[in-house]
Structure 1
Amino acid sequence: MRVLKFLLKFFAGCFLCGLIISIVGYAYYSKDLPDVTTLKDVQLQTPLQVLSKDGELIAIFGERRRTPLKYNQMPQIVVNAVIATEDSRFHEHFGIDLIGIIRAMYIGVKQKGFSQGGSTITQQVAKNFFLTPEKSISRKVREMILAIRMEKELSKNEIMELYLNMINFGSRAYGIASASYTFFGKTPDQLTIDEAALLAGLPNAPSAFNPISHPNRALTRRNWVLSRMLDQSYITQAQYKEAIQKPLNVSYHAPQIEFSAPYVAEMARQYMFEKFGENAYTDGYKVYTTITKQDQLAANQSVQKHIIDYDIRHGYRGAEKILWKNNETPWDNEQIHQILSKYMCYNSMCPAVVLKATDKEATAVLTDKSHIVISFEGMKWARPYISDNRQGDFPKKVSDTLKAGQLIWVKKPADIWELAQIPGVNAALVSLNSDDGAIKAIIGGYDFNLSKFNRATQALRQLGSNIKPFIYTATLEKGLTMATLLNDAPIVRTAGSETWRPKNSPPTYEGPLRLRIGLGMSKNVMMVRALRAIGIDYAATYLERFGFPKENISHNESLALGSASFTPLQVARAYSVIANGGYLITPYLIERIENSNDNSIIYQHQPLIACHDCIDDPIATDSTPISLGNVEDIANESDNEEPEQGNLKSDDDLILPKINNTSDKNTATKYAPHTISSDIAFIMKDGLRTTVFGGPGWQGTAWRAKALGRKDVGGKTGTTNASKDVWFSGYGGNIVTTVWMGFDDHRRELGRTFRAEGGANTANPVWVDYMKIALKDVPVKEDIKPENVITVTIDQKTGLLPQSGADTMSEYFIKGTEPTHYATKEVGTEVTDSDGNTSELF
């Protein structure tokens, strides 16, 4: 009896001590624990997504790939597989599984370490959200306390939803949706029993059981999960037998990018990182850009095609590398494979090593160790490159160019393999809606993987004749008209020992011509005389109306020939002012930013739009009419003739939202500043059509744009000295597009082949091919003539009122600037005598 009393007292004391220890321990370990109710509104780490205007995925940034689902979106077979694998008593326990704890303690004592956690699904959620992964008693106690609290605040379904959304499945896949796609290319509701079992077995050891890296381990683990599902009656014996016989059938599926726009994606990524830091990659932001798939792909294809065409025209620069020569021992297969694995493919061009070359064909091996054959047809273009202006003779046989041991580039655009080479030249394209500035397409270079430098927003290049419409617009402001005569004759300017002779291209001169012809035929000397007429400082200041940074504008006569340097984005914006009636729109790339966790919109862009129905006055400047008496005189130049290179502005952040815009709740329509009168913009826009369609007896420099088959297109070519930069900028409908091509090395010139490279034949075709797609569904735009613009019939030669109906044409004038004098009627100087003989009177 005394022993019994002793035992009762002993156990009571133990119980009391245990209770006290538990209370003290609970209080001690609870004091710093987080509030589990935050899990009701938890934001899972979700990657940054960049999308097109239409919601098509362009890029994903972030280590963890995750697509959160609601519980009712998760198939029951997946839930059952997870319960069978991780926590068979999930629906019975209150957050901790006492049987599992006892088992874990037993194994821990036996192994002298806690290798078995005995954690329930609830505990795993608690650990992943609130605790560190360390294995210790203190962390385990905190985990248990949190699990108990979670079971009081959350339903079983909510806990399972958290688990299946947050758990790591390996291969950067977090959550069941991401894992389903990563390993099977499916959504969770499409998973079969064997696939669900495979995924359910991964969280325990994502790397060790990875089905791609360790298929045998993964298969064993999957079959174990299936047996657990059978034991717990989640599947039948027949289902088990069928599922266990199936192969893994897994492969890695990268996120499904709808189309590639890496320069766009990088601009969006940089902006989001600057605004949100590292959280940009984890907080589930969706950035909707303004670009569309159709336009972006058209831009990409056109730029790449014409870069390759240029590169082929200028000849083959030789093998990428010589691995061995004819008199040397050939490399073995392993050596070849190692060198090829160091190279990647660019725009369907891949590295290869020539193994054998004969007169008719060459055999080469690719990175995947497959062998290909390059016939003469696939390399007959490869005449040697000598310089930018010289090429050698075309090859007569394959062995003239290809030799065993050469590391080369190849591509297969159709049925045969072709010799290729990575282009040295580069290009950029910017296309935008001229009415509101929305970027429709933007290309920053040939290949983002070769160079991440964004030439569309960062490359400052001289404009050449692409600047002429803006200076001619300034002359219209000063009272000149499209019928004003300027002399197309050589100019020689001598200053000390230096002589400046601006020349036309081609160097032909036709005497006095109307300003419209000078623009359409891109007469350089007429542009210099126009600049002299209005003054350099006036012209330079006027250029700011088009959004050009004043820091970039040169103050000398070479400004007339495009010596100032701007980015393609700045140029496209400037041409939009002419195309939209005189409004300085602000280009933008980001339409809106959403948080995918709650679908809230945290930023919505409100563009400044061109107001075609507004009646307002543009920015006032000195528009006092000028005389043409000084066009042969050297213009006064300011002391600071050329801008400092270090001060030039690229405005590469122009198209991205300003930080404080996100707090602007005013949704009222906002209008862009009216910087050019609608009358002048209308006339200059019509003048740019002349460069496409020409006039009686002459052809405009942009005649290739007639291939679009539309009357609402216009634009201007541009070529700098030695063809170092070539441009084409123009409009069609409400779309303005600028194309630039050149070398990143400013010393290189685009040169010539059978003809000199220039804006008309090098940049204009890029523009045309892109606009064929971009304008496909855009209706032809009919510009309404402003009330203050009148149409007057003029004499084609003099621009004055005609004496008769012969050799006349219609021209636009702003009221008050139309001609009032008649052209002098030419009188013949020949006389005929009575015998019918003619002779000169003088």
Structure 2
Amino acid sequence: MSVIKKLCKIFGITCMVFTIFLCILAGGLYLWYRPLYLEYKDDAVRAVAESDADTFTRNLTGYIYDDSNNLISRLSIDMNSDYLRYKDIPKNAVNAFISIEDRHFREHKGYDLGGILRVGWRYLITGGEEKHGASTITQQLARSVFLSNEVTLERKVREILTAVEIEKKYSKNEILEFYINNAYFANRCYGIEAAAKRYFSRSSAELTLSEIAYLCAIPNSPSYYDPLTHADRALARRDKILEDMYDCGYITHTELREARCSEIALNPRAEEKIQNYETTYATDCAVRYLMELDGFLFRYDFEHMDDYQDYLEAYNDCYETCRKKLYTGGYVIRTSLNEEKQKLLQDTIDGVLSFDDETGSDGIYALQSASAVIDNQSHKVVAIVGGRSQDTKVYTLNRAYQSYRQPGSSFKPLAVYTPALDQGYTADSLLPNIDVSRAKGAGLAAVSFPGSRMRLDQAVERSVNGCAWWLFCSLSPEKALSYVKHMEFARIVPDDHYPASALGGLTYGTTTVEMANGYSTLANLGLFHPATCLTSLKDRDGRELYAETEPEEIYTPGAASRMVNILKGVILRGTASSMGWNLEVEAAGKTGTTNGCKDGWFCGITPDYSMSVWVGYDEPRILKNLYGATYPASIWKTVMSELVKDSARVQFDAPAAEEEIHLPAGSQEQSRYLPGRDDDEVLSDGYTVRNYREDHSVADQADTVMYQMQSLNRESENDMQTWNRLYDEAKTLIDQIYSQKLRAQEAEKLENLKDGILP
């Protein structure tokens, strides 16, 4: 008994100490966070106190201006015409939302304590990875009207405090009225009435129980349950809602069975859209900036395709939420868009493509074009055209930023050649022109294929696919594509990590805005500025929200400058020479043509401007004589000639201090190999003295790099980073060696060094 008493005493003391510790901890946390809590509470009290019923129905008009303060467009949504008072909202809709979203809505004071504890527990055990969920209807309303969509613990606290204040001021029925009218039902529909008209072409009062439940499935995740693209998902959630309504006693078992067996026959009403390329692009830039302010994390690298699809759904949901804010929040948007440049670009596209007047069933021209112009000094989009103009009320897609097309060879400078120059290659580097048809089935093993040797600059000028394919494999798709991902190419996906991407054979493709900005990065010596036309974004109170983004170095200045010099050769004597550029102002660019002449591109730069042009059909098909050097280059030359006619800058910027580069082929340094022999002397089939000298010069450079690697301590984190960089540099050099024997010898040296075996 004495032992048991002692154990009980020890246990009691332990519990008491632990309780005291928890009390001290709780007290400390209370004192630490109390000022922050009071601040959040005061904000919530003030925001809700200043609100009234109009706060939840208010539609303040926004304005978009060009660079000369001319009004481009007004932004607004006519929510009032579809707004329903509580008494007019179908009872089934009210019950459906309560059943699926917040069963205790009628009892709680704005928050669900049990749900909060569950979220807190999940937050702790996942190390902060999971920090969402358990929001009541009132909390969701607070978030959509008063707060951002940022997923943080701070926002959750603000959300709860605001919900409590809403519950104090408004009745339960008023809250439901506000919530159902503000809910987003995908495809720019806000409120149950707008959704009923959009998807069924009827009033919500005319819908059946099954149809109401079907619509109420959408707001939980509008992109995922979009009835126009994922009808099966919406149907499955409809069934879940009906079951919840039955569990809550809102419908009978007979009603449940009949509603679940009822087929959903959509009768979508045509969506009203706008036909103004400046407005759509400026709106997109502003929406994306609001997403950033709301804490949305933009991503450009994905582990697998499912990861990309999940991201896309989250992106679309946040995009539409912020789009509503923009259209109803009274924002004033000022842009860099220039009326004269816009007219020049539109008129040129219309004129060059005027030979083809074929139209589709919707009355829109079949043959289309898109283009974007970026000022290299301000780094802003100054003109953007998403298609041919025509006298029609039908909305035309803004292809300049919405249509992703295969870029063909115009992609090579950004994803193949400049990365190679960044990794140590030069304009004089000799590349094997391998057989692409054979390489297509070989994967990265194509790097070992033989081929006639060609200088890198000549491969670019002539747009030789075999050289680009080999070089892309040599760099590795992951390494090469990392450059364009850092330039925010939005649809480079895991399925693009294959050699065909070297030739622009991408899963989804790119846009003219992305391509123009990529080439602008070259003109700016490797410095990347995110593409936008925003210069100012002010809220309804006149507060400036917009701030410029810091540039990021994508390519080294030397690599970018050398690429620009090579691209000048494309216009002077390469695939774009037929364009006949004869102005004093320097120009550089690259053509691009996809298989079967389905897409034609020209992307080019001058010191002041970067411009990309795409020509093709919305539904890809062959167009005779469509090449990058024909219609796209013609549009580019006409517009660019006018843009630079009074330009004071005639030459591209050069790096302040050019990095040390490898010796060019045929230099005096290389003459020590086989001295006295003629460069053209053939040593073996397809292999000359010149090739021998070039190979051994490159091998010497690789040896120098490997010598530097030997002096590093691989147990040191800093040295290891340097070692890895030098390893990649040595490997890149070795891959340039044409002689299989010499390449194998150098590769063996490198692998021995990797394994710790010193020469």
TM-score band by shorter chain is: 0.3 to 0.5
**Structure that is richer in strand per residue:** 1
TM-score for the superposition, normalised by structure 1: 0.41
**Structure that is richer in helix per residue:** 2
TM-score for the superposition, normalised by structure 2: 0.45
